């Protein structure tokens, strides 16, 4: 059986539309500079496109289901662990199905680690501008959650955090690096200072670095995503954001010591080794990561990080030149500004947000690799036209 020409035509029209629309997609943190055609070609000719692989189980332990890519998943984690300040011999991690999956593991591991230290239920602390997945996951775990106000840049208000901190209960803190809308980076030094002074009964720090965790290791600010430097317990990073994969994926990294506090679940048909929340996991995502690491290398990632930060600065400068109210935090590729009219919002796939402190209705442009200077200039032209009533 084959797909009919009518159906193929429909698919082709759909593909054409997607390829066209990606050229003006700047409001969501998806790097549209996806380069996987060579991977998919190899995948098809290698025969793997006709094999049902599955990464169920702990990639670091022998699996009874041999049709997996654990070997490559481990090499991906070996590559990234030192970049996030974990010693390769102490690190444990997985390739996840996305940022939420990484945060899910962070919060779940946190609850279990804190549970091994105290019988008292932990409190989840997270900033008001952190991603909603963290709030949803806290709800899922029936955790008491304290949402901490933010400053105007979207960073957690550390004084308010100190006031909210209940030292008689374990503290599970999710640190935003950076926040989804403004790219606010929570001040880990200040949070750590409060924790050292106040000494809650037990502490677990998970870093949600979905977007910024992709590029920060390749900049002079790498210490911000370093377990060794900032003493967080786990980190989640997205694969489809900075790294530019074609579908959701990500990384979750912690230590072997913290893994030991997890319930491994005794599942005999899986060799008694399932520390992950999901049972079946993608075998394809680690292969794509592995392929990209070998194609790009640290130097390539460094150049990509430099480029997006340079272009974000260019966008902010162009907005300043035309006196368009706009803001950009340091070390951020996210520029936020007064919300333009519907035509511009739709054409450039802009995401809306409201903050009375900055005049109300806002939108943002997350400068990823597909957004170069020519595209930014077109965007500015559209904003000018919009302001002059051309929409």
Ligand X SMILES: Cc1ncc(COP(=O)(O)O)c(C=O)c1O
Closer residue to ligand X (CB): 281 or 318: 281
Region 125-154 residues binding ligand X, contact defined as CB under 6 A: 131, 133
Stretch of residues binding ligand X (CB under 6 A), selected from 96-104, 145-153, 279-287, 306-314: 96-104
Please state, in angstroms and rounded to a whole number, the distance separating the CA atoms of residues 104 and 234: 11
The answer to the question of residue 180 lying near ligand X (CB under 6 A) is yes
Question: 74 or 127: whose CB is closer to ligand X?
Answer: 127
**Beta-sheet pairing, 171-176 with 203-208:** parallel
CB 227 within 8 A of CB 196: no
By beta-carbon proximity to ligand X, the closer residue of 103 and 304 is: 103
**Beta strand 360-366 pairing with 351-355:** antiparallel
How far is the C-alpha of 361 from the C-alpha of 341, rounded, in Å? 11
Minimum gap (Å) between residue 89 Cβ and ligand X? 29
Nearer to ligand X, 100 or 332 (CB): 100
Among 59, 85, 93, 99, binds ligand X (CB under 6 A): 99
Q: Do residues 302 and 328 lie in contact, with contact meaning Cβ atoms separated by under 8 Å?
A: no
31 in contact with ligand X (CB under 6 A): no
176 vs 211: CA distance, rounded Å: 10
Task: Please identify, using beta-carbon distances, which residue of 24 and 103 lies nearer to ligand X.
Answer: 103
Q: Does 210 bind ligand X (CB under 6 A)?
A: yes
Candidates 57, 59, 85, 98; binder of ligand X (CB under 6 A) is: 98
Cβ atoms of residues 366 and 179 within 8 Å: no
Using the rule CB under 6 A, is 104 a contact of ligand X? Answer: no
Output 146 or 182, the one with its CB closest to ligand X. Answer: 182
Per CB under 6 A, 211 contacts ligand X: yes
In the complex with ligand X, the residue whose CB is nearer, 103 or 292, is: 103
Least distance from ligand X to the Cβ atom of residue 345, Å: 18
Of the pair 211, 283, the CB lying nearest ligand X is at 211
Q: Which stretch binds ligand X (CB under 6 A): 56-64, 99-107, 287-295, 380-388?
A: 99-107
* Per-residue contact string for residues 242-271; x = within reach of ligand X by CB under 6 A: ------x-----------------------
On whether the CB atoms of residues 177 and 225 are closer than 8 A, the answer is yes
**Binding residue for ligand X, selected from 24, 32, 69, 100, defined by CB under 6 A:** 100
Q: Binders of ligand X among 299-358, rule CB under 6 A?
A: none
Q: Report in angstroms the alpha-carbon separations of 380 from 23, 31, 127, 198, 278.
A: 15, 20, 32, 48, 44
**HSE value, Cβ hemisphere, 13 Å, CA-based, for 301:** 23
Q: How many residues bind ligand X (CB under 6 A)?
A: 13
Give CA 170 to chain center in angstroms.
26
Binding site for ligand X (CB under 6 A): 29, 98-100, 103, 131, 133, 180, 208, 210-211, 238, 248
């Amino acid at each position: 059986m084959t797909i009919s020409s009518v159906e193929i035509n429909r698919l082709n029209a759909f593909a054409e539309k997607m390829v066209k629309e990606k050229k003006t997609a700047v409001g969501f943190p998806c790097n549209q500079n996806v380069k996987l055609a060579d991977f998919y070609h190899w995948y098809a000719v290698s025969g793997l496109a006709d094999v049902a692989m599955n990464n169920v189980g702990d990639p670091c332990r022998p699996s009874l289901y041999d049709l997996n890519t654990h070997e490559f998943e481990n090499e991906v984690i070996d590559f990234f662990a030192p970049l996030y300040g974990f010693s390769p011999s102490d690190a444990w991690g997985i390739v996840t199905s996305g940022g939420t999956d990484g945060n899910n593991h962070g919060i779940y591991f946190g609850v279990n680690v804190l549970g091994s230290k105290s019988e008292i239920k932990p409190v989840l602390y997270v900033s008001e501008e952190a991603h909603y997945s963290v709030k949803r996951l806290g709800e899922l775990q029936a955790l008491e959650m304290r949402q901490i106000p933010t400053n105007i840049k979207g960073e957690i208000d550390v004084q308010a955090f100190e006031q909210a901190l209940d030292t008689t209960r374990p503290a599970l803190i999710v640190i935003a690096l950076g926040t989804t809308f403004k790219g606010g980076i929570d001040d880990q030094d200040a949070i750590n200072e409060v924790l050292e002074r106040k000494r809650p009964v037990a502490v677990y720090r998970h870093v949600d670095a979905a977007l910024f965790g992709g590029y920060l290791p390749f900049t002079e600010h790498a210490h911000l995503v370093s377990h060794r430097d900032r003493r967080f317990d786990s980190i989640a990073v997205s694969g489809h954001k900075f790294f530019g994969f074609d579908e959701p994926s990500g990384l979750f990294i912690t230590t072997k010591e913290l893994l030991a506090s997890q319930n491994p679940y005794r599942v005999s048909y899986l060799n008694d080794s399932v520390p992950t929340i999901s049972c079946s996991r993608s075998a394809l995502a680690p292969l794509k990561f592995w392929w990209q690491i070998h194609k790009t290398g640290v130097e390539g990632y460094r150049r990509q990080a430099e480029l997006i930060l340079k272009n974000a600065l260019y966008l902010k400068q162009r907005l300043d030149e035309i006196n368009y109210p706009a803001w950009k935090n340091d070390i951020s590729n996210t520029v936020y500004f007064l919300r333009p009219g519907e035509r511009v919002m739709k054409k450039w796939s802009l995401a809306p947000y409201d903050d009375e402190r900055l005049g109300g209705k806002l939108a943002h442009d997350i400068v990823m690799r597909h957004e170069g200077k020519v595209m930014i200039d077109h965007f500015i032209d559209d904003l000018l036209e919009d302001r002059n009533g051309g929409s």
